[in-house]
């Protein structure tokens, strides 16, 4: 952040008679060093500098009654503990904590002015939108001594349009693509295996580049769930393929046994009885073919997989957006 830190206080030692045409004394940077100023520091500062181009960016005005306005321009990096459980659908609250370093509350008391924070109206952030700013006191105690403290909390809402376009929508399309195999013939083994592996690999590469933390984020739940859906579609084909091959082996054994039995019956029984037996056997095989398990599993998957994925979406977006 880049901020103008403005401070107001009254020092009775600096009272003077009002000068006509001069509302306040405006000190230059050299004279400022001879005036007492509060020893403030920013508790969560990591790196910060006071601007010195082209002169030190400091201002100090003294009113006749000893009231002082002191302003400095600071740019720095300040720490902010974030919670990424809902990332990238999260919002963060980042503080700016200002304390007195050496003066206890008995000597120096800090409090926010009437308009505590003024923000630039046209601020544009690449990843967040600036929601609101809250200010309050946060007096602290160190080594049994009380120190005055003021705090500013900045609420930042993450902009997730990028994640919708680059992660959520592509992963949804990949999951839908994995369902195409349910309409491909069971005998087209190379096509269905290639499609299943392609979608699984696509999902694994989607998760690269995300923040790495020791707990599950919202985006992790999404990616893992989508990976499970495409992996389940691949496992479904393996199950269908096994059913198909087992059914084929059973049918081949039954056909061989039935042909032998039919030939025997034709030789040992009258011709009429043999024809009736053959008709019954042919009807039996037609009924078996119409109830083929492998095709039924594909038909059920065409309905079950989209319904489960739709249910997952309803739960996911309800929990992470409206909770």
Give me the sheet containing 40-42, strands edge to edge.
40-42, 91-100, 149-158, 128-137
Determine the longest span between alpha carbons in the chain, in angstroms.
139
Q: What is the dihedral of CA 230, 234, 239, 243, to 10 degrees?
A: 120
pLDDT in tens, the chain (323 residues): 999 999 999 999 999 988 888 889 999 888 888 899 999 999 999 999 999 888 889 999 999 999 999 999 999 999 999 999 999 999 999 999 999 998 999 999 999 998 888 888 888 888 898 888 999 999 999 888 999 999 999 999 999 898 999 999 999 999 999 999 888 887 788 888 888 889 888 888 887 777 888 888 999 999 999 999 999 999 988 888 887 776 555 555 544 555 555 555 455 545 544 455 555 555 445 434 434 677 888 889 999 999 999 999 999 999 998 87
What pLDDT shows up at residue 20? 86
Domains of the chain plus CATH, in order, are 1-79 (2.70.170.10), 82-158 (2.70.170.10), 162-322 (1.20.58.390)
CA distance 251 to 253: 5
What pLDDT shows up at residue 211? 80
Strands of the chain (E only): list them. 2-10, 25-26, 40-42, 45-50, 58-62, 67-78, 91-100, 128-137, 140-142, 145-147, 149-158
CA distance 205 to 59: 54
What pLDDT shows up at residue 272? 47
| pTM score of the predicted model | 0.76
SS3 sequence of 84-122: CCCCCCCEEEEEEEEEECCCCCCCCCCCCCCCCCCCCCC
Take residue 144 and report the two structure tokens written for it: 């049994």
What pLDDT shows up at residue 290? 39
What does the DSSP 8-state code read for residue 143?
T
What pLDDT shows up at residue 261? 52
């Amino acid at each position: 952040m880049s901020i103008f830190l403005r401070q107001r206080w009254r020092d009775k030692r600096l009272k003077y008679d009002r000068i006509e045409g001069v509302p306040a004394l405006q000190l230059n940077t050299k004279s400022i060093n001879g005036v007492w100023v509060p020893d403030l520091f920013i508790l969560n500062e990591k790196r910060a500098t006071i601007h010195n181009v082209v002169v030190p960016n400091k201002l100090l005005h003294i009113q006749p009654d000893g009231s002082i306005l002191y302003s400095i321009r600071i740019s720095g990096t300040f720490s902010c503990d974030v919670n990424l459980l809902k990332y990238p659908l999260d919002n963060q609250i980042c503080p700016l904590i200002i304390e007195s370093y050496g003066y206890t509350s008995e000597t120096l008391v800090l409090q926010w002015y009437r308009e505590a924070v003024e923000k630039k109206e046209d601020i544009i952030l690449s990843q967040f939108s600036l929601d609101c700013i809250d200010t309050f006191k946060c007096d602290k105690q160190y080594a049994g001594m009380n120190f005055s403290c003021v705090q500013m909390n900045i609420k930042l809402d993450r902009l997730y349009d990028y994640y919708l376009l680059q992660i959520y929508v592509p992963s949804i399309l990949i999951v839908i693509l994995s369902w195409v195999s349910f309409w491909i013939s069971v005998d087209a083994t190379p096509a269905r295996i290639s499609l299943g592996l392609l979608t699984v690999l696509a999902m694994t590469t989607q998760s690269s580049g995300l923040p790495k933390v020791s707990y599950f984020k919202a985006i992790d739940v999404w990616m893992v769930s989508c990976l499970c859906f495409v992996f389940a579609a691949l496992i479904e084909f393996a199950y269908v393929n096994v059913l198909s091959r087992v059914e084929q082996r059973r049918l081949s054994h039954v056909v061989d046994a039935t042909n032998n039995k039919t030939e025997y019956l034709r030789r040992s029984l009258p011709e009429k009885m043999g024809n009736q037996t053959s008709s019954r056997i042919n009807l039996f095989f037609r009924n078996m073919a119409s109830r083929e398990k492998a095709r039924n599993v594909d038909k059920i998957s065409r309905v079950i997989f989209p319904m489960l994925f739709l249910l997952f979406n309803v739960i996911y977006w309800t929990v992470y957006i409206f909770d």
